[in-house]
């Protein structure tokens, strides 16, 4: 187990370094930050001064080293727009994003678990076919459009829910469902195939032979074992989930990191963009690491491979 | 006697026709298995055809402004006219014409980006799978970094620096979408590498390039075609999301995404402006996904994509 964890940790470090290079490159290699920062009519002298001020006259690796060592201390520079530290801006917006992600995950599970199990137990039935169709349609659905349709129906027509914003539990319903609809199709397929595979296992036959009721067989023996692949894949899909949360936030004007990032992109406020990208990536990587460890603990077969 | 002869004739005719009808019945039954795929292909052909023929079939130019008839509802609603089947937008442009034209942007970006990303992904996947060792490790680490990162976030950040334009969209989506190909192609190559015909090629002294491109690559064509088809749908959704945020294709050029973004502002009174472009995205991506799934079942039912 120790070696397994160590291997995962090495991989984690490599990925984090890779991401920091990527977000450094976004600003420093592709674009010229000075041109973005200065007004268009600025003279050459002004340009040179800022060039030096930002340390752009030094070799790229020196610049990267400075960026990385500062970032490690949570210093991504000040926002070019509001003059507050970028790190604080991003951290302040983090809780709404995490709440939305959690709510979306819960919604996805509420949709996917019952449907997936039902589809697996009644294979090739009408219900199963219906679920498959729902999953295919769900995967093709642009969720930002789904969100807007929900707003038109439930907020504009029925006036039952708030169209956007943040605060009460009613505000959570539509965004959570939208994000859930994004993740539910793949989860449902996983649950279905997992349960189908397990229902053919010997221990299920044993449980049946012992005379357990069908409900006990399904819930205690089949479902619990089907959870392992679902947890793994959901953990690895966390990046996708966060990507979906970004989309959802912008539709419902949710005050999270994603709306901050999109606003900062519009304002060309790059320290904030960089900080948000790095922190989001860091969260994804840590979640993946934890999932790997937890799965390794649950299922010894994985550690060896 | 007559009846017998007639009967004989009938029987003879039937015997002659039997293999023919039986064969076509088998073909039909095979086709019926792919009924969804066939239907989806027809829908997709309609979408592609209307996009190509747009200048000749649209009732109005997509850019013609008609302020007097702004925010006109679809024909079947109260206040709608036959002149504008799907209604008009906030400055009186015909929505049907714009939806038909909008398909051009999405389909061009989708196919172009997929051509780029599949080329990159296939080349790197072949290299990783065939050469193994350090090459494999470096490429797969890069793949892991990219897969951890939400695709949306990466595209957003790069577009922010490069600035929104059609070519930039194609470049960004093409360069960020390759890891999936690389991962699948690597796994397939690893398996093919150990097969007899590859060893025979090596024993005959074939060069690495020749083995990879003449012996391994042809075996991977169906996998590549299936992934590429499914990825077109993904790219179209992402492209429309970026345009929806105002970071993609810029108005007044009609694109499904930016129409949806503009329509969002008017959804309180004029639901149709946001609804129809989104519906177009949904129908197109659904058709592509169904076609991709059918293609996979038809080419190789065991394929894991």
Which of chain B's residues have a Cβ under 8 Å away from the Cβ of A13?
none
pLDDT of residue A300: 65
pLDDT of residue B18: 53
d(CA A288, CA A197): 25
Structural contact between residues A287 and B163, judged by C-beta atoms closer than 8 angstroms: no
Range B155-163 average pLDDT: 76
| B79-126 pLDDT tens trace | 777 778 888 888 888 889 999 999 999 999 999 999 999 999 999 999
pLDDT of residue B2: 42
In this predicted structure, the answer to whether residue B14 has a pLDDT above a threshold of 60 is no
What is the pLDDT of chain B when averaged over all its residues?
84
The CA radius of gyration of chain A, in Å to the nearest whole number, is: 24
Which of chain A's residues have a Cβ under 8 Å away from the Cβ of B106?
none
Q: CB contact, 8 Å: B271 with chain A?
A: yes
d(CA A20, CA B266): 40
In this predicted structure, the answer to whether residue A49 has a pLDDT above a threshold of 60 is yes
pLDDT of residue B13: 45
Range B30-50 average pLDDT: 87
Nearest-CA distance B163 → chain A (Å)? 10
Of A285 and B111, the structure prediction assigns the larger pLDDT to B111
Which of chain A's residues have a Cβ under 8 Å away from the Cβ of B264?
148
In this predicted structure, the answer to whether residue B298 has a pLDDT above a threshold of 70 is yes
In this predicted structure, the answer to whether residue A61 has a pLDDT above a threshold of 50 is yes
Structural contact between residues B277 and B99, judged by C-beta atoms closer than 8 angstroms: yes
Quickly state the pLDDT bin for A243 (edges 50, 70, 90). confident
Residue with tokens 């192609």: B185
Cβ contact B246–A142 (<8 Å): no
d(CA B34, CA B22): 19
Which of chain A's residues have a Cβ under 8 Å away from the Cβ of B144?
11, 15
pLDDT of residue A305: 47
Cβ contact A145–B285 (<8 Å): no
Burial environment of residue B224 by CB neighbours within 10 A (0 to 12, 13 to 18, 19 or more): buried
Quickly state the pLDDT bin for A215 (edges 50, 70, 90). confident
* Residue A241: C-alpha distances to residues A20, A176, A190, A222, B251 (Å): 21, 11, 16, 26, 30
| B276-294 pLDDT tens trace | 999 999 999 999 999 988 8
- Chain centre distance of CA B39: 15
Nearest-CA distance A199 → chain B (Å)? 21
pLDDT of residue B79: 77
Cβ contact A23–B282 (<8 Å): no
Cβ contact A265–B157 (<8 Å): yes
* Residue B136: C-alpha distances to residues A253, A288, B26, B50, B199 (Å): 42, 21, 45, 44, 20
Of A152, A247, A265, the CB nearest to B160: A265
How is A158-187 classified by DSSP, letter by letter?
S--S-SS--SSHHHHHHHHHHHHHHHHHHH
Cβ contact B150–A151 (<8 Å): no
Q: Which ranges in chain B belong to alpha helices (H)?
A: 2-33, 35-52, 54-57, 95-131, 133-148, 151-162, 166-176, 179-193, 196-203, 208-210, 221-244, 256-265, 272-299
Helix pair A238-252, A86-121: axis angle to 10 deg: 110
- Chain centre distance of CA A48: 40
How is B120-153 classified by DSSP, letter by letter?
HHHHHHHHHHHH-HHHHHHHHHHHHHHHHS-HHH
Per-residue b/e over B115-141, b at no fewer than 16 CB within 10 Å? Answer: ebbbebbbbbbbbbbbeeeeebeebbe
pLDDT of residue A189: 85
Sign of the dihedral through C-alpha B202, B204, B208, B213: negative
Contacts of A176 (CB under 8 A, 6+ apart): A100, A103, A104, A106, A107
State pTM to two decimals.
Answer: 0.84
Of A304 and B159, the structure prediction assigns the larger pLDDT to B159
pLDDT of residue B280: 94
Quickly state the pLDDT bin for A303 (edges 50, 70, 90). low
pLDDT of residue B9: 44
Cβ contact B161–A26 (<8 Å): yes
In this predicted structure, the answer to whether residue B6 has a pLDDT above a threshold of 60 is no
Which of chain A's residues have a Cβ under 8 Å away from the Cβ of B279?
145
Of A139 and B121, the structure prediction assigns the larger pLDDT to B121
User: Which residues does residue B88 pair with via DSSP β-bridges, in sequence order?
Assistant: B94
According to DSSP, residue B94 is labeled B
ipTM for the predicted complex:
0.81
Q: Which of the residues A163, A243, A280, A286 would you substitute to probe the B interface, choosing the one with the greatest number of B C-beta atoms within 10 Å? A: A243
In this predicted structure, the answer to whether residue B11 has a pLDDT above a threshold of 50 is no
pLDDT of residue B5: 43
In this predicted structure, the answer to whether residue A304 has a pLDDT above a threshold of 70 is no
């Amino acid at each position: 187990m120790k070696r397994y964890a160590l291997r995962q940790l090495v991989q984690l470090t490599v990925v984090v370094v890779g991401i920091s290079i990527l977000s450094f490159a976004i600003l420093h290699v592709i674009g010229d930050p000075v041109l973005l920062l200065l007004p268009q009519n600025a003279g050459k002298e002004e340009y040179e001064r800022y060039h030096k001020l930002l340390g752009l006259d030094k070799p790229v690796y020196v610049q990267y080293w400075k960026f990385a060592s500062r970032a490690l201390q949570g210093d991504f520079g000040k926002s070019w727009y509001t003059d507050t530290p970028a790190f604080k801006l991003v951290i302040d917006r983090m809780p709404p994003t995490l709440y939305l992600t959690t709510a979306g995950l819960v919604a996805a599970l509420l949709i996917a678990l019952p449907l997936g199990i039902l589809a697996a137990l009644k294979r090739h039935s009408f219900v199963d076919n219906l679920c498959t169709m729902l999953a295919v349609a769900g995967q093709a659905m642009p969720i930002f459009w789904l969100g807007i349709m929900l707003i038109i129906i439930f907020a504009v027509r029925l006036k039952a829910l708030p169209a956007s914003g943040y605060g009460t539990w009613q505000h959570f319903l539509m965004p959570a469902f939208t994000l859930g609809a994004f993740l539910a199709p793949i989860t449902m397929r996983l649950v279905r195939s997992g349960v189908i595979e397990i229902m053919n296992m010997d221990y299920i036959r044993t449980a049946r032979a012992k005379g357990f009721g069908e409900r006990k067989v399904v819930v205690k023996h089949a479902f619990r074992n089907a959870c392992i692949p679902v947890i793994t894949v959901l953990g690895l899909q966390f990046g996708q989930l966060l990507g979906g949360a970004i989309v959802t936030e912008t539709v419902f004007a949710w005050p999270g990191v994603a709306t901050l990032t999109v606003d900062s992109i519009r304002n060309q406020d790059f320290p904030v963009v960089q900080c948000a990208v790095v922190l989001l990536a860091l969260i994804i990587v840590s979640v993946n690491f934890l999932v790997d460890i937890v799965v390794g603990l649950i299922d010894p077969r994985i550690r060896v491979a | 006697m007559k009846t017998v002869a007639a009967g004989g004739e009938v029987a003879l005719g039937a015997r002659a026709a039997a293999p023919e009808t039986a064969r076509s019945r088998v073909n039909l039954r095979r086709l019926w298995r792919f009924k969804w795929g066939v239907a989806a292909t027809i829908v997709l052909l309609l979408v592609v055809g209307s996009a190509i023929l747009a200048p000749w079939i649209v009732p109005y130019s997509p850019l013609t402004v008609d302020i007097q008839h702004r925010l006109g509802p679809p024909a079947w609603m109260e206040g709608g006219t036959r002149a504008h089947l799907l209604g008009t937008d906030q400055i009186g442009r015909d929505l049907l014409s714009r939806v038909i034209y909008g398909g051009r942007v999405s389909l061009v970006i989708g196919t172009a980006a997929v051509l780029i990303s599949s080329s990159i992904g296939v080349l790197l996947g072949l290299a990783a799978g065939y050469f193994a060792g350090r090459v494999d490790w470096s490429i797969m680490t890069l793949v892991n970094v990219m897969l951890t990162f939400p695709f949306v976030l990466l595209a957003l950040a790069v577009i922010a620096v490069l600035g929104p334009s059609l070519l930039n969209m194609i470049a960004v989506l093409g360069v960020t979408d390759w890891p999936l190909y690389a991962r699948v192609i690597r796994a397939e190559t690893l398996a093919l590498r150990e097969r007899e015909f590859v060893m025979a090629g090596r024993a005959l002294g074939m060069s690495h390039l020749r083995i990879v491109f003449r012996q391994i690559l042809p075996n991977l064509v169906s996998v590549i075609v299936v992934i590429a088809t499914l990825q077109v749908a993904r790219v179209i959704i992402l492209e429309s999301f970026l345009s929806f945020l105002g970071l993609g294709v810029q108005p007044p050029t009609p694109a499904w995404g930016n129409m949806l973004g503009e329509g969002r502002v008017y959804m309180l009174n004029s639901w149709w402006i946001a609804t129809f472009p989104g519906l177009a995205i949904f129908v197109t991506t659904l058709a592509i996904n169904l076609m991709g799934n059918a293609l996979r079942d038809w080419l190789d039912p065991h394929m894991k994509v």
